[in-house]
Structure 1
Amino acid sequence: MKKDNIVQIKSYAFAVKIIKTHQFLCTTKKEYVLSKQLLRSGTSIGANIEEAIGGQTDKDFYSKLTIAYKEARETHYWIRLMKDTDYLTEEESNDLLKDTDELLRIIGSIQKTLRNS
């Protein structure tokens, strides 16, 4: 992993947080359905960024980045839903939402730059 690829680093760190949140939800809250959705979308962000980095063409890179953006939007939804149904506390959800918002801004900025070039 490149040391200076901020979206790669942040999406990986976010995936680790999502996995730990999923473990917490399963063991403590006994919640398995919604937490699995969160796990899938939350870890998919980084996986798609990795695929984008390894993309064969600029079009492939942009396409995978777009999928990562959509997965981040979905993850944002699941976190809000889990907060509003009391599976996650305000503090737990705000930390994850802050990270998701940051990833959305970074990915969106990269997409904008690619569209304008």
Structure 2
Amino acid sequence: METGNAIRDKSYAFAILAIRAVQQLRKAEREFELSGQLVRSATSIGANVEEALAGQTRKDFTAKMAVASKEARESRYWLRLLTDVGLLDAKAASELLERSDELIRILTAIVKTSQSRPSGRTR
């Protein structure tokens, strides 16, 4: 899995953990609708990071990283909701919540840095 790009690797690992958590929920026939939302947002983070890394302009790169940041925030919302209504074990959700917070911090920093660079510089 290690690709040498930290945000790519972290977003991919987060998606895997989220999918595994949802598989456990579905295996126990506990929940399908909200967990589907989590899978969509959690996997979208990495997909948008991949698109950003292939972006042809800094504007394209920044826009995709901003979308990835929004998806990380949405994932955190679904994790909190699933935990607070008792569908997802708090201990199991803890690592996912920590990782979503880390992704949000990293992605926010990437977007801010990319936006603040003079237009003559590349990402």
Task: Give the shorter-chain TM-score range.
Answer: over 0.9
Q: Cα 1:8–1:22, aligned 2, differ >3 Å: closer, same or farther?
A: same
- CA shift for structure 1 position 30: 2.8
Q: Distance in 2 between matches of 1:86 and 1:4?
A: 37
- CA shift for structure 1 position 94: 1.1
CA RMSD of aligned residues (A): 1.3
Tell me which amino acid in the other structure corresponds to 2:38: L
> 2:107 maps to which residue?
107
Q: Is the 2:42–2:72 contact (alpha carbons within 8 Å) kept by the matching residues of 1?
A: yes
TM-score by length of 1: 0.95
- CA shift for structure 1 position 3: 3.3
- Pair 1:39-2:39 in alignment: yes
> 1:16 maps to which residue?
16
TM-score by length of 2: 0.90
| SS state at 1:23 partner | helix
Structure with larger Rg? 2
Q: How does 1:1-117 map to 2 (within 5 A)?
A: 3-117=3-117
Q: Cα 1:13–1:64, aligned 2, differ >3 Å: closer, same or farther?
A: same
Q: Is the 1:29–1:87 contact (alpha carbons within 8 Å) kept by the matching residues of 2?
A: no
Q: Distance in 2 between matches of 1:51 and 1:7?
A: 12
Q: Which runs of 5+ in 2 are unaligned?
A: 118-123
The superposition leaves residues 78-97 of structure 1 with CA deviations (integer Å, 9 ceiling, x where unpaired) of: 00000100111111111110
| SS state at 1:31 partner | coil
Count of residue correspondences: 117
Identity fraction in percent? 48
Worse overlay, 71-80 or 29-38:
29-38
- CA shift for structure 1 position 2: 7.2
Q: Is the 2:30–2:87 contact (alpha carbons within 8 Å) kept by the matching residues of 1?
A: no
